Amino acid sequence: MKKLLFIFFFFTLTLLNAMNINSIKHVYNVKEEINIRVTELKITPKGWLALFKKGSSNEWGEVLRWKWTENTITGNFIFEGLETGEYEARVFYNNSYTVEATAPFTVSNTPKAEIKTKQKIYKINESIWVQANNMFGDAKDWVAIYPKGSSNDWNNVLQWKYLKGKKDIELKFDPLPAGEYDARAFFKNSYKLEANYPFRVENNQISLPMTSVYTTAESIHIKNFKGFQKNRKDWVAFYKKGTDNSWENVLAWKWIDDAIHGYTLIFGTLPVGEYEARGFFNNSYKTEVITPFKVIDFKIDENELLQQAKKHCLGDDNSTRTLLCANDLDHVYILTKRDLHEHTYWGHYQVLLSDNSVNIVSESVVAPYAQWYGLEYRALRKKIANTSIYMIINGINDADEHGWYSFYSKESKELLSLPWYEDKGNIVNIKVLDDGKKLYFERTYRNREEKYKETYDISDPEKMTLINRDIVPMPFEQ
């Protein structure tokens, strides 16, 4: 029975944002609760956040308010209010007094109005969020968006909203065309400017980076896409080339928001054909970006494998790095490595010369961006004499070379897998004991000062069971 394994290691480029701390308001009323926002906070034993007078030292005696950060990565810390003055919120890791980040704020009897947008830069089709604080509290206090540099005249207002008596409020405005703008705050239906905050809107540089050619064996990845919004309803779909955007033509789809790690969307396989990945904003069917790709068949030529096995094994019982003849000259084990469009395809096959059949033990593919984290080589290590077991060594050549040994039965069932890491875990001195009922070998483990002597029961040709392990110090007696 054919067994098809698709192993797809991929290197996810996780966006690493620097830790940030800021005060929700620049100016608070006396004894108003202080709200400090942190993002991408590092979790450490006894991380803490505290409030200090501006310019004071980090000594414990200068701490005015404090809290453990515990398991908070992104969130808000609320502190009791303070008297008038200039202050700082400071973050510390590991119960130390070394400042990691600071955020200034002020406490005043008569705080000034504040206004700011959540982002300094928005994309077109992205809603604009404006935070207004310390407003007068009149029902007709209002906030508006103006073109940057324009006067406060009514004819320059692009969008506006009354605050309905609220002193602190967050407002959502409609998306804007590309350009530079101001968010402005006014009291009591007047045109006297109380606060101003500049921001800009940019055209979307939208992209769906993909490999141009895939095979029928590959999962399809869209990695490091750009230009989509944060409305949670942008989406990507696969269509056959030349079809329209209607829902019945969608072959596969995902919300952009489902790309949790490294901005990567992972789809399944597709049959041979020409396709397009299309990106859409806000649950619409209006195409924002198209990336064409095609899927081809890349099957192994089984007849070629059969001829290779006959040529190699029907003479002397020889072994190579990629082809192993069993002692009975019937079972032949072949490893293949093929490259196409920077992808590497690995195959492990069993050829039966008795009936000229080829069985797939496993097939896997490694994408170009995953080469450093995928399989780099596979080698048929040996057929263990007087048993039906053969061994393969798998290796990965990244910063530290590592891999695993795999033991297979005559029928290509994996019986055991053992890891190795550089000079640790290497198997040496293999012996067959008790007329082929036991397998003994030695291997280094954990450090260079000790090795394992291990004995496995192999009386059942479809099992390897550990029955004894001795840990011995180095030097190891042969």
Is the separation of the CB atoms in 430 and 440 below 8 Å?
yes
Q: Has residue 360 got a pLDDT over 80?
A: yes
Q: Has residue 449 got a pLDDT over 80?
A: no
Coil, strand or helix at 87: strand
Is the omega angle on the peptide bond into residue 147 within 30 degrees of 0, that is, cis? no
Is the separation of the CB atoms in 264 and 224 below 8 Å?
yes
At a CB cut-off of 8 Å and minimum separation 6, what does 327 contact?
317, 383, 385
* Rounded distance between C-alpha atoms, residue 96 and residue 98, angstroms: 6
**Same-domain pairing of 77 and 148:** no
Q: Has residue 4 got a pLDDT over 60?
A: no
Find the mean pLDDT for residues 296-301: 83
pLDDT tens digits, residue range 398-410?
A: 667 888 899 999 9
User: Considering 108, 123, 141, which residue would you say is the last residue of a domain?
Assistant: 108
**Which two structure tokens, joined as six digits, stand for 292?**
């064409």
**Same-domain pairing of 136 and 68:** no
**Same-domain pairing of 194 and 233:** no
**Same-domain pairing of 338 and 435:** yes
**Which two structure tokens, joined as six digits, stand for 91?**
């973050």
Q: What is the DSSP letter of 207?
A: B
Is residue 9, in this structure, part of any structural domain at all? no
Neighbours of 11 (CB within 10 A): 16
The pLDDT of residue 114: 92
Sign of CA dihedral 149, 155, 157, 162: positive
Is the separation of the CB atoms in 442 and 431 below 8 Å?
no
**Same-domain pairing of 388 and 457:** yes
Is residue 307, in this structure, part of any structural domain at all? yes
Is residue 267, in this structure, part of any structural domain at all? yes
**Same-domain pairing of 264 and 285:** yes
Angle (nearest 5°) at CA 105 between 103 and 111: 160
* Rounded distance between C-alpha atoms, residue 160 and residue 173, angstroms: 8
β 142-147/114-117 pair status:
unpaired
Coil, strand or helix at 183: strand
The pLDDT of residue 475: 60
CA atoms within 13 A on the CB side of 48: 16
**Same-domain pairing of 155 and 191:** yes
Is residue 277, in this structure, part of any structural domain at all? yes
**Same-domain pairing of 319 and 462:** yes
Is the separation of the CB atoms in 307 and 260 below 8 Å?
no
* Rounded distance between C-alpha atoms, residue 130 and residue 410, angstroms: 69
- The mean pLDDT value of the chain amounts to 86
Of the candidates 355, 395, 403, the residue with the CA atom closest to the CA atom of residue 378: 395
* Rounded distance between C-alpha atoms, residue 132 and residue 41, angstroms: 26
Cα 422 to chain centroid, rounded? 27
How far are the Cα atoms of 123, 138, 172, 361, 397 from residue 358, in angstroms, in the given order?
A: 55, 82, 64, 10, 30
Domain containing residue 85: CATH number: 2.60.40.3450
**Which two structure tokens, joined as six digits, stand for 478?**
């042969």
* Rounded distance between C-alpha atoms, residue 270 and residue 240, angstroms: 10
How far are the Cα atoms of 8, 236, 237 from residue 251, in angstroms, in the given order?
A: 21, 11, 7
Q: What is the DSSP letter of 226?
A: B
Position of tokens 């303070």?
Answer: 82
Domain containing residue 237: CATH number: 2.60.40.2840
Is the separation of the CB atoms in 231 and 282 below 8 Å?
yes
What is the full DSSP assignment across 331-385?
EEEEEEEEEETTEEEEEEEEEETTTTEEEEEEEEEE-GGGGGGS--EEEEEEEPT
What is the full DSSP assignment across 186-201?
ESTT---EEEEEEEEE
Confidence of residue 9 (pLDDT cuts 50, 70, 90): very low
Is residue 3, in this structure, part of any structural domain at all? no
The pLDDT of residue 385: 85
The pLDDT of residue 368: 59
Confidence of residue 447 (pLDDT cuts 50, 70, 90): low
User: Considering 202, 223, 243, which residue would you say is the last residue of a domain?
Assistant: 202
| Secondary-structure breakdown of the chain: helix, strand, coil percentages, each rounded to the nearest 5 | 5, 50, 45
User: Considering 173, 202, 231, which residue would you say is the last residue of a domain?
Assistant: 202
Expressed as residue numbers, the domain containing 221 is 213-296
pLDDT tens digits, residue range 361-397?
A: 988 777 655 555 567 788 888 888 889 899 999 888 7
Is residue 207, in this structure, part of any structural domain at all? no
Phi, psi of 309 (to 5 degrees): -65, -45
Find the mean pLDDT for residues 263-279: 91
Domain containing residue 197: CATH number: 2.60.40.1930
Neighbours of 357 (CB within 10 A): 11
Find the mean pLDDT for residues 99-128: 90
**Which two structure tokens, joined as six digits, stand for 314?**
């029907």
**Same-domain pairing of 100 and 134:** no
Q: Name the residue with higher pLDDT: 147 or 13.
A: 147
Angle (nearest 5°) at CA 54 between 53 and 55: 110
Comparing 370-379, 413-422, 467-476, the range with the smallest average pLDDT is 370-379
* Rounded distance between C-alpha atoms, residue 277 and residue 324, angstroms: 43
Find the mean pLDDT for residues 282-302: 89
Is residue 183, in this structure, part of any structural domain at all? yes
**CA terminus-to-terminus distance, the chain:** 42
Find the mean pLDDT for residues 177-205: 92
**Same-domain pairing of 450 and 319:** yes
Find the mean pLDDT for residues 438-457: 84
Comparing 247-256, 258-267, 305-314, the range with the smallest average pLDDT is 258-267
pLDDT tens digits, residue range 310-357?
A: 888 886 656 677 888 886 768 899 999 888 766 788 889 999 998 999
pTM value?
0.43
**Same-domain pairing of 272 and 311:** no
Confidence of residue 8 (pLDDT cuts 50, 70, 90): very low
Q: Has residue 230 got a pLDDT over 80?
A: no
Count of domains observed in the chain: 4
Is residue 242, in this structure, part of any structural domain at all? yes
How far are the Cα atoms of 24, 50, 117 from residue 107, in angstroms, in the given order?
A: 13, 16, 22
**Same-domain pairing of 330 and 443:** yes
Position of tokens 């042969």?
Answer: 478
Is the separation of the CB atoms in 183 and 115 below 8 Å?
yes
**Which two structure tokens, joined as six digits, stand for 217?**
């064996």
Confidence of residue 251 (pLDDT cuts 50, 70, 90): very high
Position of tokens 């202080």?
Answer: 34
